[in-house]
Amino acid sequence: MAELKSTQPRNRRERAILVGVLLPDGQYNPDDPLDEIRGLAETAGLVVLAGLLQNRREVDPATYIGSGKVAELKELVEAHEADLVLFDNDLGPAQTRNLEQQLKVKVIDRTEVILDIFATRARTYEARLQVELAQLEYAMPRLKRMWTHLSRYKGGVGVRGPGEKQLEEDRRLVAKRIQDLKAKLAVVQARKEREVAARTEVPTVSLVGYTNAGKSTLMNALTGAGVYTADQLFATLDTRTRQWHFKGGGHVLLSDTVGFIRNLPHSLVASFKATLEEARQADVLLHVVDASSHEAERQIEAVEAVLHELALSDVPTLLVLNKCDRVRDQDSLAILRARHPEVVEISAATGTGLAELEAAVRAKLNETALDVEIHTHAGDGKVLAYLAQHAHIHSQDYSNTDDLHVRLLCRLPRKCLGFLSEQGVNLHITTLVDQTPMREDQKEMISKRRDLSNSNPLGLSLTWTATA
């Protein structure tokens, strides 16, 4: 039956040979450089037959690996009767074509397999739009069929692998579809932004981290959410938000997010912006790390790179070393602690360290409130009402009433800055504000000013939250 390769049933698991090219600036697990791509291949449902490594100073422009290695790979493919070759690196369109011609089997790369996993896992409307957009953007310059392992979706959004005919027959159609998807995503994104922004009165915390670090397990441990967890890559593709009730009183909103991976395809990062909206507007990020992995440090770096790409690097972040119950190598834990002084060590599985995590999050939330000085028009009811609701106002000053402006000193969650700057409010962040509770005489002074404000020509009546 082996000759019937091209007519084999679609649900037969495809058999793959892995190829990794180790470049001088690449990041690999020195003990097993193919470790991660093997995990990705297995997650995508492939049967891994063998692996081939090559050290190169630079890539071969025509075939990525050198011609001698191509011959060696061809022998491997034939000996194992492989259906495809999976590169851990990202191949250019011409390199893929040349390799396929010489090897006589499909050649796919790291991005393609990640896109395929995402397509298999995407469940919500939004995630499917995002994956389809990423797939089309990847396929467009290649003008070839995308590799798909199994065709589970029939039509509609989230189609796994845009069809060959569609791509080749009418490039314009693809461009049009990309445009449609972007428009649909813009609508989703705008809705999401409004939804997330509307929650500002409750502080929000987002879990981010490398795939399989234990984010969803932690989410479940803290909120009893019951989200899906699994020992596989990219178990979570959709954001879930739940209330996390602190044992010490009060609560925050906790969001679980999609996991990151080194060299996350660019198109995916871009298209997952809506899914990561929660993280963008979070007061604190919990960067969850699998401390039991030999790759912990490299994974931290990869996550930091993605956070940077998503303009999330300046959101206050706590590094959470998870799976501490599984750490065998105490030395590597000590190294992590030394490199990252501010870490919380936990085990989401056993519950160890969760009280400390709660305390650290509380402290971080306190730290992340900002003291700002705001100048706004006294008639700007929208801004003033917003501040009354979200900020702790230390003082308001109408002394310069000629121009009907008010000067406020207040303490507010960092994420309120977005709304305020959208409203064109003139503000600057100051550390000069005295954070001690207001004295009686200060309160009295403020009430006097309130009287003044009530008599202002616009008849504004303001809500005061200055009482400590």
Ligand X SMILES: Nc1nc2c(ncn2[C@@H]2O[C@H](COP(=O)(O)OP(=O)(O)OP(=O)(O)O)[C@@H](O)[C@H]2O)c(=O)[nH]1
The full length of the chain comes to 468
For the CB of residue 324, give the shortest distance to Mg ion in the complex, in Å. 18
- CB under 5 to 8 A by kind: which of Mg ion, ligand X, none does 211 bind? ligand X
For the CB of residue 51, give the shortest distance to ligand X in the complex, in Å. 23
Main-chain dihedrals φ then ψ at residue 402, nearest 5 degrees: -55, -45
| x/- track of binding to ligand X for residues 313-342 (CB under 6 A) | ---------xx-xx----------------
275 is a contact residue toward ligand X (CB under 6 A): no
Is residue 210 part of an annotated ligand binding site?
yes
Closest CA to 28 of 93, 134, 149, 110: 110
216 is a contact residue toward Mg ion (CB under 5 A): yes
Name the residue nearer to ligand X (CB basis): 89 or 293: 293
Q: Beta-carbon neighbour count of residue 431 at 10 Å?
A: 7
Name the residue nearer to ligand X (CB basis): 234 or 386: 234
Q: Beta-carbon neighbour count of residue 198 at 10 Å?
A: 8
Distance CA 52, CA 34 (A): 9
348 is a contact residue toward ligand X (CB under 6 A): yes
Closest CA to 217 of 337, 324, 308, 331: 324
Is residue 410 part of an annotated ligand binding site?
no
- CB under 5 to 8 A by kind: which of Mg ion, ligand X, none does 323 bind? ligand X
Written as one letter, the residue type at 116 is D
Closest CA to 31 of 335, 328, 295: 295
Distance CA 179, CA 358 (A): 44
Distance CA 16, CA 280 (A): 38
Is residue 238 part of an annotated ligand binding site?
yes
Residue with tokens 């020509």: 457
For the CB of residue 151, give the shortest distance to ligand X in the complex, in Å. 23
Please list every residue from 214 through 243 that binds ligand X, using CB under 6 A. Answer: 214-217, 229-231, 233-236
269 is a contact residue toward ligand X (CB under 6 A): no
For the CB of residue 97, give the shortest distance to ligand X in the complex, in Å. 33
3-class SS at 50? strand
For the CB of residue 437, give the shortest distance to ligand X in the complex, in Å. 40
For the CB of residue 223, give the shortest distance to Mg ion in the complex, in Å. 13
HSE-CB of 11 using CA atoms within 13 angstroms: 1
Quote the tokens at residue 466: 């200055």
**Quick one: how many helices (H) and strands (E) in the chain?**
16, 14
Name the residue nearer to Mg ion (CB basis): 148 or 206: 206
Residue with tokens 């200055």: 466
- CB under 5 to 8 A by kind: which of ligand X, Mg ion, none does 349 bind? ligand X
Return the residue of 63, 95, 200, 211 that touches ligand X, per CB under 6 A.
211
Asked whether the beta carbons of 433 and 407 are under 8 A apart, the reply is: no
Q: Which residues are annotated as a binding site for GTP?
A: 209-216, 234-238, 256-259, 322-325
Which positions lie near ligand X, rule CB under 6 A? Answer: 209, 211-217, 229-231, 233-236, 259, 322-323, 325-326, 347-349
Return binding residues: 209-216, 234-238, 256-259, 322-325
Residues that bind Mg ion (CB under 5 A): 215-216, 235-236
